[in-house]
Chain A
């Protein structure tokens, strides 16, 4: 019998593409034989826009890169400028930053895990993590006034001290979170349908993961123990006791396991940072008009999705000459075209979701 392959446009308006990712699939029946990922539907030109903004005015734009973890993006940008200018950040501000970055990691992974399992058809599994995420967003709104676009960190510290309402809610969160994790493990871990859909699907070997420049949980799921918080600790990460979550097989199931483990480790850091938080100022002495010296700086940090790098070139004026972001999701999806081949359409949805991509970051 004579058959032929056909082309299927997956996205950009398909709910399983996590936004506006467009994948042109070449299909033989249900099996993928060729794939081309197309991006750019959410391109806002942030890197160009910020060239016309002063240094502090860039901070609200970084919130909009990976909009599920605005606080972590703030952190990378302000630390780059601090590196460029040689600013010492007060102790308390560093602890607040770490506390919030880890809370943000939990919030981001809660969406990542929840939507991932929802895409596989288990709709109720999305609501449990969203309850916890909601608590974190409430916490964030107490200190910054916003739920997703925080604009809270400043060059030289953080905008204000924590709000008095923040402490009882954080206590509450710390009390209730372990019970949730236990419950969620029970709900998903051993589920036969979930296992059948994810085990040995989208397997990435360690070598391949490294050669494609994957970072974050997607790299660690392949068994590469690479976490910037351990390897080159920034801020005050060297003072906390935590482990990095590493997977074995690099399949979709491991990517779920690594994220869940990472959430638990983040929770450990939160408890330690909250307990050891010193008193004191939250802002260093920085000039009113921020004019870094001529030069450039690169800084990178372990964001929920992977390594977010920020490169800033200064020409000595109050506006940056060039800002570039190394966005983890953008590098992570480079493996898609190769990974999709040989999988069925339903598995492609599973692979896509297991990467936990954010289009705001890919297109910038």
Chain B
């Protein structure tokens, strides 16, 4: 019978009308992001040893940092700028950090009003209050413990 296929398809559509809604009401309900989410950045300046590995590992040279010498001849961070307009959010800088003080946060609403705000000044605004992502961070529990037998 001609039109049988269409009726069969419509029965699927009909059944789905009564299924649970799958969409999220985004602005009212915030999505639950993955633990390793790559959002914006935070930097613990006190932990940083100013090695410059993050700057070197960036494919697009989005990170610009300067260092200075302290009285006891130690290297110290003096400025840290991360230009998000060049950033690929690949995470190679976070991975390369030996002290794990450069971290991803779970912020995802990163739109800003002015172009200047796209550049993150992580030296003056460490952004430590933002929820930290576990990307490239030492795992708290055993990594393979999750697999159920």
Q: Of all chain A residues, which has the CB nearest B5?
A: A190
Mark interface residues in B40-69 (1 if CB within 8 Å of A CB, else 0): 000000000000000001010000000000
B94 to chain A minimum Cβ distance, whole angstroms, is 9
Interface residues as binary, A180-202 with B (CB distance below 8 Å gives 1, 0 otherwise):
00010011111111110000000
A181 shortest CB reach to chain B, Å = 12
In the complex, A354 has a CB within 8 A of chain B: no
B25 to chain A, nearest CB (A): 16
| B146 A187 Cβ-Cβ under 8 A | no
B36 touches A144 (CB 8 A): yes
B59 near A57 with CB under 8 A, answer yes
B111 at the interface (CB under 8 A from A): no
CB pair B34–A163 under 8 Å, yes or no, is yes
Please tell me if A272 contacts chain B, counting CB pairs below 8 Å: no
| Binary contact readout B138-149 vs A (1 if CB under 8 angstroms, 0 otherwise) | 000101111110
The answer for the CA separation of A124 and B6 in the assembled complex, in Å, is 13
- In the bound assembly, the distance between CA atoms of A61 and B89 in angstroms comes to 11
Q: Does B112 contact A (CB under 8 A)?
A: no
Q: Whole-angstrom distance from the CB of B103 to the nearest CB of chain A? A: 12
A145 touches B90 (CB 8 A): no
* Shortest Cβ gap from A37 to chain B (Å): 30
Query: What number of A-B contacts does a CB cutoff of 8 Å give?
Result: 92
Known: A142-B35, A151-B88, A190-B4. 7 other contacts (CB 8 A): A145-B36, A145-B91, A165-B34, A186-B8, A187-B9, A192-B5, A195-B5
Does A141 reach chain B (CB closer than 8 Å)? yes
Which residues of B are found within 8 Å of A187, using beta-carbon distances?
A: 8-9, 12-13
Secondary structure call for the B interface = loop
B26 interfacial by beta-carbon distance below 8 Å? no
Given A57-B59, A61-B59, A191 and B104 contact (CB-CB distance below 8 Å): no
Query: Which of A19-27, A154-162, A292-300, A337-345 faces chain B?
Result: A154-162
Q: Is B2 an interface residue (CB 8 A)?
A: yes
Query: Which of B59, B92, B143 is within 8 Å of A161, CB to CB?
Result: B143
Q: Within the complex, which residue of A151, A161, A167, A192 is in contact with B90, where a contact is CB–CB below 8 Å?
A: A151
Asked if A286 CB lies within 8 Å of chain B CBs, one says: no
